[in-house]
Chains A and B, each alone.
Chain A
Amino acid sequence: TQLLEQSPQFLSIQEGENLTVYCNSSSVFSSLQWYRQEPGEGPVLLVTVVTGGEVKKLKRLTFQFGDARKDSSLHITAAQPGDTGLYLCAGAVYNFNKFYFGSGTKLNVKP
């Protein structure tokens, strides 16, 4: 079983549509990160959220950390083909010794 559950697993949308990806857990994390990964490459960090309830914006991407620090969401506005990739959330537990990754959401944005 995954400590972090991501949904949906797959998402195929048209360019210009909005979407939200969810990352949920029953555990509390000291921080949570979102990554995007292209095929054959390592994950690239998009954002780190630390404070419960925190909202961060990165151009068309909006990230939110749940008040209880157990869940997070990624919202993309007006998706573009360049947003295509595997989106991963990863949570750090308080002792900083481990990062737990979700299984990822594979996003395909069609032109």
Chain B
Amino acid sequence: ETGVTQSPTHLIKTRGQQVTLRCSSQSGHNTVSWYQQALGQGPQFIFQYYREEENGRGNFPPRFSGLQFPNYSSELNVNALELDDSALYLCASSLVTSGGETQYFGPGTRLLVL
């Protein structure tokens, strides 16, 4: 149990639609990252938010956007869905300490785009 929750657990959308995925971070963590994990692959970094501002971005187009709220919950929005967006979307909250940054992952949202 990591204390990170995501909703919904599963979602089916059609090509061209928009989707919003939600994440509730572990208490006290001020950083949240989002990842896309295709079947059989490792997670790919989408972006990271720190204190409600985007703090780093991977190689994803602008139609992938996010928000982080004062209560450390966050959203991932994807516009104009494409078939290749079908994947497991993971959020991870983290706390940076002198020992490094440790991420705690939620269970993920499995998105299927038809």
Interface residues of A (CB under 8 A from B): 2, 6, 30-31, 33, 35, 40-45, 48, 50, 88, 90, 92, 95-104
Q: Which of A30, A42, A103 contacts B100 (CB under 8 A)?
A: A30
A to B CB contacts below 8 Å, 21 in the list = A2-B42, A30-B101, A33-B102, A33-B103, A41-B108, A42-B2, A42-B105, A44-B2, A45-B105, A48-B102, A88-B43, A90-B43, A90-B103, A95-B56, A96-B96, A98-B45, A98-B48, A99-B33, A99-B103, A101-B43, A104-B42
- The 7 A-B residue pairs with the shortest CB-CB distance, nearest first, are A97-B56, A31-B100, A42-B105, A101-B42, A103-B42, A50-B100, A101-B43
A98–B104 CA distance with the chains assembled, in angstroms: 14
B78 contacts the other chain (CB 8 A): no
A45 touches B102 (CB 8 A): yes
Per-residue A-contact encoding for B1-35, CB less than 8 Å = 1, 0 else? 01010000000000000000000000000000101
A48 touches B33 (CB 8 A): no
List of B residues within 8 angstroms of A90 by Cβ: 42-43, 103
Query: Smallest distance from the beta carbon of B36 to chain A beta carbons, Å?
Result: 11
Identify 19 new A-B residue pairs, CB closer than 8 A, beyond the known A40-B88, A42-B4, A42-B107: A30-B101, A40-B108, A40-B110, A42-B108, A44-B2, A48-B100, A50-B100, A90-B42, A90-B43, A92-B100, A98-B48, A98-B58, A99-B92, A99-B101, A101-B35, A101-B42, A101-B43, A102-B42, A104-B42
List of A residues within 8 angstroms of B45 by Cβ: 98-101
A45 touches B103 (CB 8 A): yes
